[in-house]
């Protein structure tokens, strides 16, 4: 990266000292990760931010919903900064509060809402987490989705899973032993979700029709192709991938799990990995003794994650040095209170 920008980033960080804490999501560019005080998945980063109440500014190199979660979990005196406000998440955008409320109204109308526990993936807006907290539900990540679903099914007969259909389906079918026909897909763009009253009342898992625009693009064909091309390859995929991709893979798990698996893999082993490309590249560079490939070359970076680049980071840091707080992400107190309930419920999972 541009040496002038690197020097400016260093100087701004040095000027801010302990007042600033820079968080870098695993899917961020190398040029940004270089300046992160800590790296992690969205959940780990939110907890890391909460563990630094002395840091006045939290610069979140990731996407919008992650910065919201950090704001919810940090003190009021701390400001969470997102270096580019256009860094959203297409999956989180697929569940809008008014749509989820319409779905809930339909469940109320059918007389089944009391049986339903809402569960939302961390990758959702604070509004959606607040909705879930208001209705006695829980947030989950890709590492605790199974425990979150078990907890939800101990409280109700049905789950409304938001917004990632794949994580919901993969967890219900592969980890809880549900059948594919126990799951229905609620499409917010169709009247009544595109489901009959019978389908909605009979289903155990109501899956919101959302997906990740990166992980959702890997195909079973690419798994078959890599197995032909690289005999003995281990296929390692994220649970945001489609069900047939996950069932044809060797191992499935969260971003943190993928990193640990690669780190502990024996030298000489071959891995085809289906997750964000920045992370796969970084793992490949860090482990030249292992053969690490991206599962499908036609899939590309998460475009919104990639919006955070060194120029945006430098700009944000220099604004802070000047005493201005750019791009502050705040969640209104009422939403934050209920979202916090659903997040705390996740932290209390057995
Ligand atoms: O796909 C993502 O954005 C993930 C896995 C985020 C996270 O860190 O939970
Ligand atoms: Fe959203 Fe997918 Fe990008 Fe993650 S990788 S931020 S889920 S679009």
For residue 275, pLDDT over 90 is answered with: yes
Pocket flag, ligand 1, residue 240 (CB < 6 Å)? yes
Query: Which tens digit of pLDDT belongs to each residue from 22-81?
Result: 999 999 999 999 999 999 998 899 889 989 999 999 999 999 999 999 999 999 999 999
Ligand closest to CA 306: 2
Strands (E), the chain: 20-25, 38-40, 57-61, 79-81, 116-121, 138-140, 158-162, 183-186, 205-208, 234-237, 251-252, 270-274, 291-294
pLDDT at res. 1: 83
* pLDDT confidence of residue 79: 97
pLDDT given for residue 46 in this prediction: 84
Q: Which among 133, 204, 159 has a CA at the least distance from the CA of 348?
A: 133
pLDDT band at residue 130 using 50, 70 and 90 as cut-offs: very high
Does the beta carbon of 91 sit less than 6 angstroms from any atom of ligand 2? yes
Asked whether 212 lines ligand 1 (CB < 6 A), one says yes
Please give the pLDDT value at position 47.
85
Average pLDDT over residues 99-127: 98
Residues 6+ apart with CB under 8 A from 109: none
What's the whole-number mean pLDDT along residues 275-285? 97
Give the tens place of pLDDT for each residue, 221-264.
999 999 999 999 999 999 999 999 999 999 999 999 999 999 99
Q: Are 110 and 201 in contact (CB under 8 A)?
A: yes
Q: How far apart are CA 259 and CA 242, in angstroms?
A: 20
Shortest-distance atom of ligand 2 to CA 276:
5
Report percent pLDDT > 90 for the chain: 97
Give per-residue pLDDT as tens, 163-193: 999 999 999 999 999 999 999 999 999 999 9
Residue 15 has what pLDDT?
98
Split at pLDDT 50, 70, 90, the class of 350 is: confident
Domains of the chain, each with CATH number or no CATH: 3-88+305-331 (3.40.50.10800), 92-211 (3.40.50.10800), 215-294 (3.40.50.10800)
Question: Quick check: CB of 259 below 6 Å from ligand 1?
Answer: no
State the closest ligand 1 atom to the C-alpha of 212, by its place in the atom list counted from 1. Answer: 1
Could you tell me the pTM of the whole model? 0.96
């Amino acid at each position: 990266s541009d040496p002038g920008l690197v020097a400016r980033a260093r100087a701004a960080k040095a000027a801010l000292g302990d007042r600033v804490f820079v968080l870098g999501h695993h899917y961020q560019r190398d040029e940004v990760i270089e300046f992160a005080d800590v790296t992690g998945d969205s959940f780990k980063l939110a907890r890391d931010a909460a563990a630094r109440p002395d840091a006045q500014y939290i610069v979140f190199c990731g996407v919008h919903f992650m910065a919201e979660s950090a704001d919810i979990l940090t003190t009021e005196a701390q400001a969470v900064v997102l270096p580019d406000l256009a860094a959203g998440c297409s999956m989180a955008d697929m569940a809008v509060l008014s749509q989820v409320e319409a779905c809930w109204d339909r469940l109320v109308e059918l007389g089944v809402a009391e049986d339903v526990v809402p569960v939302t993936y961390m990758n959702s807006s604070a509004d959606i987490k607040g909705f879930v907290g208001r209705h006695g539900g829980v947030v989950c990540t890709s590492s605790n989705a199974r425990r979150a679903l078990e907890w939800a099914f101990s409280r109700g007969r049905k789950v409304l899973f938001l917004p990632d259909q794949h994580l919901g389906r993969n967890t219900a079918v592969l980890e809880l032993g549900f059948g594919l026909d126990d799951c229905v897909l609620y499409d917010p763009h169709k009247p009544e979700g595109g489901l009959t009253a019978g389908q909605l009342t009979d289903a155990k898992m109501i899956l919101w029709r959302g997906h990740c625009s990166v992980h959702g693009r890997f195909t079973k064909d690419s798994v078959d192709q890599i197995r032909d091309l690289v005999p003995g390859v281990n296929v390692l995929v994220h649970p945001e991938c489609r069900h047939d991709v996950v069932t044809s893979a060797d191992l499935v798990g969260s971003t943190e799990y993928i990193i640990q698996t690669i780190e502990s893999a024996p030298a000489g082993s071959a891995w085809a990995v289906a997750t964000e490309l920045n992370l796969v590249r970084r793992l490949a560079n860090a482990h030249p003794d292992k053969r690490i490939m991206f599962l499908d070359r036609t899939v590309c970076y998460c475009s919104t994650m990639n919006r955070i680049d060194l120029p945006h980071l430098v700009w944000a840091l220099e604004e802070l040095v000047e005493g201005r707080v750019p791009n502050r992400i705040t969640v209104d107190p009422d939403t934050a209170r209920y979202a916090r309930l659903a997040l705390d419920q996740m932290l209390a999972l057995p």
